[in-house]
């Protein structure tokens, strides 16, 4: 029997991945559980499932992979999640600002605008009534 690994894509609203659980053929897929091993017909159905069912342009809801593809996918995700750099990493030199660069301290000081009187305030804003 052929099987494939499937999982709900990790929750990331910026990328359109908003599903946290999905039920199909009596299997409840939960995003936090990770990978599920399912039969090939189930995996092929899940490959076509979208985050927003009525929008065919929305991103796919599931990652459907073989075991080798899943390992590669997980390794790239763990490498991408490493934010902190260690001292032994090959770090590029970060150049400092040149000595003659213009800063905000170099800008001329301007006088503050005089405060507006109550009569001159924006008439579009309504006054709040006290309770």
39 and 5 Cβ atoms separated by less than 8 Å: no
Domain boundaries, the chain: 3-81
Position 91 scores a pLDDT of 73
**CA separation for the pair 97, 103 (Å, rounded):** 10
| Interval 41-67: pLDDT, tens | 999 999 999 999 888 899 999 999 999
- CB count within 10 Å of CB 112 equals 6
For 111, list phi and psi in degrees, rounded to 5: -75, 145
pTM higher than 0.85 = no
Which tokens in the block code for residue 113? Answer: 């605008």
Position 50 scores a pLDDT of 94
9 and 60 Cβ atoms separated by less than 8 Å: yes
Which portions of the chain are predicted below pLDDT 50? none
CA 122 to each of CA 86, 115, 118: distance values in angstroms, whole numbers, following the listed order: 55, 13, 9
Per the document, the length of the chain is 131
Position 103 scores a pLDDT of 80
């Amino acid at each position: 029997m052929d099987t494939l690994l499937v999982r709900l894509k990790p929750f990331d609203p910026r990328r359109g991945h908003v599903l946290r659980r999905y039920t199909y053929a009596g299997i409840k897929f939960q995003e936090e559980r990770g990978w599920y091993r399912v039969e090939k017909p189930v995996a092929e159905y899940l490959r076509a499932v979208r985050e927003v069912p009525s929008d065919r342009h929305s991103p796919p809801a599931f990652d459907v992979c073989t075991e080798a593809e899943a390992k590669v996918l997980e390794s790239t995700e763990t490498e991408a999640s490493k934010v902190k750099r260690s001292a032994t990493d090959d770090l590029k030199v970060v150049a400092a600002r040149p000595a003659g660069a213009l800063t905000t301290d170099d800008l001329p000081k301007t006088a503050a605008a005089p405060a507006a009187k109550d009569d001159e305030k924006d008439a579009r804003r309504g006054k709040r009534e006290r309770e």
